[in-house]
Amino acid sequence: NKSVIMLKRPEEYPIPGEHFGLQESEFKPVLKNGDIATRNLALSLDPYMRPRMDAEKSYIDCFKIGEPLIAGGVAEVIESQNPRFPVGTIIEGYVGWELYTHLTEANIQDHRILHGARESSIPLSSYLGVLGMPGMTAYSSLIEVGAPKAGETIFISAAAGAVGQLVGQMAKRLGLRVVGSVGSDEKVEFLLKDLHFDAAFNYKRGNILENLRKAAPEGIDIYYENVGGEQLEAVLEQMNDHGRIVACGMISQYNTKNAYGVRNLLQVVIKRIRFEGFLVEELYAKYGEQFDKEVGSWFANKEIKYVEDVAHGIENAMDAFVGMLKGKNFGKQVVKIADL
Ligand code: NDP
């Protein structure tokens, strides 16, 4: 087996070889009743994994030193002591950052079976992106927390990413004016030309508040918050009364111990803003079925686009992960490990 192991807790950006590293071992799992072993086909690399590298638990357990990191993945069952997951089943759920994983019964409670995945023309990585957790995040939180209404303006940060690119397209479908920010001119082009955003800017160029005022002259009704920090501070100035902030994530704060001090939180009071966080796993019960049906059909009918950035091989997972944290990814970051 080849696994990516947690070595040391990073203070800032994790460094391959120092904070996490590749380890080879023999894979000879001894399965207890209810267990399975998987051959991993593709892994999802996500921002929330960075807080999992820290020592303090956030809403999810920390990665353990000396053990493989964990990722959402698509995998084939190769050994099974569990009648729900016979050998040959294709599943989606948490596996290790590795070629093969031994999963105990307790660890596969939420794994889903991808029926028909072998025969389907849908790439397996889609179940880690548009048809998986990031898709569900965009869809459920936009409705539940954003409460969007046609004619309103939504501003999305990290707008070309796994979640952002979908929030923008879903908001357009609902008749909103869609504005996004991203970290490169190439991504700005993508938002405007491919995803038909109404306005977009590169937050690394010029003054963020001035850019926002130009891009959303009538103010912002919904802020889909992926980054925190300076952009949040600027957005608060440009929010409209009774605006909603969908607090999805704050990636600008994940790789530093010096949290950015947002200076104008009083705007939340003055403008009666609803600033609400959420965790996607808590929205599956309410939105899961509707998500599968609607987003599944939009994607199958090519009514929404979805761009993925695919790295190849477990050896390249660490660089791809750090690259994603630094904005090198163009779309949803996945790692392809093996063919079906
Ligand atoms: P992305 O695919 O958007 O990748 C991360 C992107 O963040 C990078 O591409 C980069 O884009 C941007 N970024 C990195 N550093 C900074 C910075 N300092 N300032 C501004 N932008 C930065 O990731 P996801 O779509 O998977 O995740 C987006 C957000 O959603 C994250 O905050 C994540 O934690 C959160 N999330 C929350 C969930 C929940 O349940 N609450 C579920 C899933 C995701 P660029 O080039 O534009 O800078």
Whether 227 is in the pocket of ligand 1, judged by its Cβ within 6 Å, is yes
Q: Are residues 145 and 57 in the same domain?
A: no
252 vs 229: CA distance, rounded Å: 6
Distance CA 233, CA 238 (A): 9
- Based on the domain organization, do 153 and 110 belong to the same domain? no
As a whole number of angstroms, the distance between CA 85 and CA 88 comes to 8
> Within a domain: residue 297?
no
Contact by Cβ (8 Å): 96, 68: yes
| CATH number for the domain harbouring residue 39 | 3.90.180.10
Q: Is the CB of residue 125 below 6 angstroms from any atom belonging to ligand 1? A: no
Q: How many helices (H) and strands (E) does the chain have?
A: 9, 15
Please list the helix, strand and coil fractions of the chain in percent, rounded to the nearest 5, in that order. Answer: 30, 25, 45
Q: Is residue 121 part of a domain?
A: yes
Q: Amino acid letter at 189? A: E
Kindly state whether residues 78 and 144 are assigned to the same domain.
no
Compute the distance between CA of residue 262 and CA of residue 255 in angstroms, rounded to an integer: 17
Task: Tell me what pLDDT residue 8 has.
Answer: 98
How much is the pLDDT for 57? 83
The answer, yes or no, to whether any atom of ligand 1 lies below 6 A from the CB of 163, is yes
Per-residue pLDDT of the chain (340 residues; tens, 9 = 90+): 999 999 999 999 999 999 999 999 999 999 999 999 999 999 999 999 999 999 988 888 999 999 999 999 999 999 999 999 999 999 999 999 999 999 999 999 999 999 999 999 999 999 999 999 999 999 999 999 999 999 999 999 999 999 999 999 999 999 999 999 999 999 999 999 999 999 999 999 999 999 999 999 999 999 999 999 999 999 999 999 999 999 999 999 999 999 999 999 999 999 999 999 999 999 999 999 999 999 999 999 999 999 999 999 999 999 999 999 999 999 999 999 999 9
How many structural domains are present in the chain? 2
Q: Please check whether residues 118 and 169 belong to one and the same domain.
A: no
User: What's the gap in Å between 232 CA and the centre of ligand 1?
Assistant: 14
**pLDDT at 59 (0 to 100):** 84
Give Dmax over CA atoms of the chain in angstroms.
Answer: 62
Q: How far is the CA of 183 from the centre of ligand 1 (A)?
A: 11
Same-domain check for residues 259 and 145 = yes
Same domain for 99 and 114, yes or no, is yes
Residues 262 and 331 in one domain: no
- Say yes or no: 75 and 165 in one domain: no
